[in-house]
Amino acid sequence: MTFWSAVFTGIVYGLTELFPVSGSGHLSILSHLFKISISDHYLFYALMQLAVIVAICVSFWEDIIVMFYELMAVGGRGPVAGTGKKHYPHARLFIMVIISTVMIALVIPVAGIMEKLSDNSFFVGVAIFLSGLCSFIFDKFDAGNKSEKNMSFADALIIGLCQCVSCLPGMSRTALTMTAGAATGLNKNFALRYSFLLAVPALFASSIRNLIKGISQGILWGDFAPYLAGTVAALLAAYGAGRLLRRVVEKHNFRAFSYYCWVMGVLSIILAFIF
């Protein structure tokens, strides 16, 4: 992989993994258009996923710190223990994220089949198109009133099931989990926060899997500089995407993402008949 192709791939993945447009779908399109096959560079894929995790953690650092403190407080320890609080909403948020994450175990038996579908441009195109439909539906939902204080276990289970569906190549994790959150009555801003926090354990598990594959492929030290540059590009792009998406949610306008997904979905379907 060349230096600039790695940087380009990192930017595309960093943006599309957090935007509701499907990172996996765009990597599939890149592999057909520019012959940049991630299946030959699993180590790079793992590094990009870790970069996105870092970007999310930086963007939501306060939430993560408060969750840690409140979890300690439940056991009577830490700086917020004994402050008179009867409830610890961020500790509850942590439990909800775990409940949603556990659901992804349902995908493990079919993970191999899902991975092979990434080579099917027609399937990827349809999935990207459906991701756009999810963003369109999300835009139409009225603002809910649920947050970490009052979302239910059933809400977490529903969002977790939708995250399982988002493991299909071309399906956007952000689009599906945010739309599922809005459908269960979550406040849209909180639905975004929950979607991003939920992505951390899922991406981490996937990155470990890809890291193992990359090591088994053999490490080509000549690719070290391109991989590093692409990883930094993915980190910066993901951080920028996260900040921009928060502003978009506040303005209640996701239609642009819908239109983009529909165009890219049609493009991917067309590629199915060319390659």
pLDDT tens-digit map of 19-60: 999 998 998 888 878 777 777 788 999 999 999 999 999 999
Q: Which of 101-115, 139-153, 154-168 has the highest mean pLDDT?
A: 154-168
Q: What is the structure's pLDDT at 115?
A: 82
Q: Determine the average pLDDT of the residues in 217-234.
A: 88
> In this structure, are residues 48 and 229 in contact, taking their beta carbons and an 8 Å threshold?
no
> In this structure, are residues 252 and 140 in contact, taking their beta carbons and an 8 Å threshold?
no
Asked if residue 202 has pLDDT above 60, the reply is yes
pTM here?
0.91
Distance (Å, rounded) from C-alpha 51 to C-alpha 229? 11
pLDDT bin (cut points 50, 70, 90) of residue 82 is low
pLDDT bin (cut points 50, 70, 90) of residue 86 is low
Q: Which residues of 216-253 are buried (b: 16+ CB within 10 A; e: fewer)?
A: eeeeeeebeebbeebbbbbbbbbbbbbeebeebbeeee
Q: What is the structure's pLDDT at 275?
A: 67
pLDDT (tens digit, 9 = 90+) per residue, 87-139?
788 899 999 999 999 999 899 888 888 888 888 889 999 999 999 999 999 98
Q: What is the structure's pLDDT at 72?
A: 85
Q: Determine the average pLDDT of the residues in 221-241.
A: 92
Query: Which residues, at least 6 apart from 146, have a Cβ–Cβ distance to it below 8 Å?
Result: 152, 155, 184, 185, 186, 187, 190
Report the chain's mean pLDDT, rounded to a whole number.
89
pLDDT bin (cut points 50, 70, 90) of residue 84 is low
pLDDT bin (cut points 50, 70, 90) of residue 258 is very high
Q: What is the structure's pLDDT at 1?
A: 81
Q: What is the share, in percent, of the chain residues with pLDDT greater than 70?
A: 96
Q: What is the share, in percent, of the chain residues with pLDDT greater than 90?
A: 59
Q: Is 245 helix (H, G, I), strand (E, B) or coil?
A: helix
Q: What is the structure's pLDDT at 165?
A: 93
Residue of 151 and 218 predicted with greater confidence: 151
Q: Determine the average pLDDT of the residues in 130-158.
A: 91
Q: What is the structure's pLDDT at 49?
A: 96
